[in-house]
Structure formats: C-alpha cells, structure tokens
C-alpha cells in the first residue's frame, strides 16, 4: 500500500473545508475534494491546493445524493488505489433562521439530509473500503473525522434543525468508532465554535459584540485554518488510544467559568 495517505474532504473548496484540505495538503496527503459546484468554478482553488505539493482530485457532486456518494468513493479508489481518511465536512445551516414554533418540515428534511444522512451513509461506504483494506493488510489504519459544531450542546431556538443534526453527528461518531475498531480504524468529531465562514457572515455583528463582551477565553473569531490543523492532527494518527472522542476547537466558548 502506498505510503502517501489519501483523504476525502467533502465541501472542501471553501470555508472550513478548504482550511482542512489546505492543512492536509501541507501534511503531504493526496486529496479528493468534493463539492456541488462545477469544476470550472473551483479550478483556481484546486490549483492552489496542488501548488502546495500533493495530488488533488476534484469531484463534483452532492453528498446528499446516493449515487453521488458512491461515485465519490469510487473516484478516490480509481485515482489513488486506496483510501485512508474521510472528512465529513459538508454541511448547511437552515436556509432561513426560524423560531422552532414556525419551522418547516422542508427545512428540517433538507438540513438532516445534508448534515446527518449524507455523512452517515458516506461513512458506511468508506467503512467497507477500510474493511477490505484491513483484510489485505492488517497494518492499515483508517480514520473518519466528522465536523460537528458546538450547536450539538447549545440550544438555538431559531435553527433547531441544525442543532439536532449536530447532536446526532456526535452519536454517529461514537457508533462508527465502535464499528470501525474491528478494522483497526476509528472515528472522531471535531467541534468548531464561532468560525469566520460564509455560514456565519450574516451574524458577524452579533458575534463581534459578544466576543468583545467576553464570550470567549481566546477573544477572536476562529479561522478555517484552526479547524484544519485539528483535523490534520487526527488524520495523521498522532492521537492514539482515544476512539470516538470530540476535539473541541472553540476559543474556550464551552469552558465553564465563574
């Protein structure tokens, strides 16, 4: 098996996903980046990743679609011959923030399909690849990293579907950590706090004021690179004997203080 590790990063062309892809590229991973936009729209970003040094493949598709998930895994295997890491990063906020008294089932279904169902079944596909690779080589070690959110614990009543999806992501991580152990593989969750991305752009003023008022121990917005370094740590196998654990990267948002 090749010494160069291969990682899939879903939603890897911008925001946290790009921060993750950049960190993994810097660590020498070959990467399959997935996204919904056509390749022509992300070619500059892909070339920037390639300039770091590794081989980078872009796969255009929607992880919420069953066939697209299979095609993504097939693309990784067909191009690189093996797979070591899956980073389930792709996720969405509700199209409209709405009080849970008025929330729609359409919004709920959309968020759950992308944030929960898609990574759950993409992990299922990758777990079978890990099983086969471990059967062929018992030194193989695979890793699934779910990108969650502090919203798994913080109740935001104007985006309940998002909070529910992230709470469920945490359990999915535990489930897969238990199941993957048979194949010398594991799963982790990286739980970001307030990170500067397209998703948080609409609430920048709100959080600027809260950060200035002492919301965080480290008083700044998180950057995609902060999350990228955390993922690279886990993907590189530098954290051992800790299956299913949550690595919280939130500037101290969730630290209890008196």
**In the chain, what's the furthest Cα-to-Cα distance?**
55
Work out whether strand 246-249 and strand 85-88 pair parallel, antiparallel, or are unpaired: unpaired
- 162 in catalytic set: yes
Contact call for residues 39 and 75 (beta carbons, < 8 A): no
Alpha-carbon distance of 182 to 41, in angstroms, equals 40
Identified catalytic residue from 58, 108, 120, 162: 162
Exposed e or buried b per residue across 100-139, where buried means at least 16 C-beta atoms within 10 angstroms of its C-beta: eeebeeebbebbbbbbbbbbbebbebbbebbbebbeeeee
Give the chain's length: 258
Write out the catalytic residue numbers. Answer: 162
């Amino acid at each position: 098996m090749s010494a160069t590790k291969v990682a899939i990063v879903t939603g890897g062309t911008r925001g946290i996903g790009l921060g993750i892809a950049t960190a993994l590229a810097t660590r020498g991973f070959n990467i399959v980046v997935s996204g919904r936009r056509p390749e022509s729209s992300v070619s500059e970003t892909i070339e920037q990743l390639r300039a770091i040094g590794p081989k980078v493949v872009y796969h255009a598709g929607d992880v919420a679609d069953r066939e697209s998930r299979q095609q993504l895994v097939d693309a990784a295997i067909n191009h690189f011959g093996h797979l070591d890491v899956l980073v389930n990063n792709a996720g969405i906020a509700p199209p409209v923030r709405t009080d849970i008294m008025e929330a729609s089932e359409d919004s709920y279904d959309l968020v759950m399909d992308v944030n929960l169902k898609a990574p759950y079944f993409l992990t299922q596909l990758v777990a079978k690849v890990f099983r086969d690779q471990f059967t062929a080589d018992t030194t193989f070690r695979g890793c699934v990293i779910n990108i969650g959110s502090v919203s798994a614990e913080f109740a935001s009543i104007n985006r309940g579907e998002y909070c529910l999806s992230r709470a469920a992501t945490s359990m999915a991580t535990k489930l897969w950590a238990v199941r993957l152990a048979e194949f010398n593989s594991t799963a982790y969750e990286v739980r970001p706090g307030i990170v500067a991305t397209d998703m948080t752009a609409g609430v920048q003023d709100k959080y600027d004021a809260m950060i200035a008022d002492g919301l965080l121990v480290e008083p700044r917005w998180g950057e995609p690179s902060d999350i990228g370094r955390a993922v690279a740590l886990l993907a590189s196998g530098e954290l051992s004997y800790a299956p299913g654990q949550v690595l919280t990267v939130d500037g101290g948002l969730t630290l209890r203080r008196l």
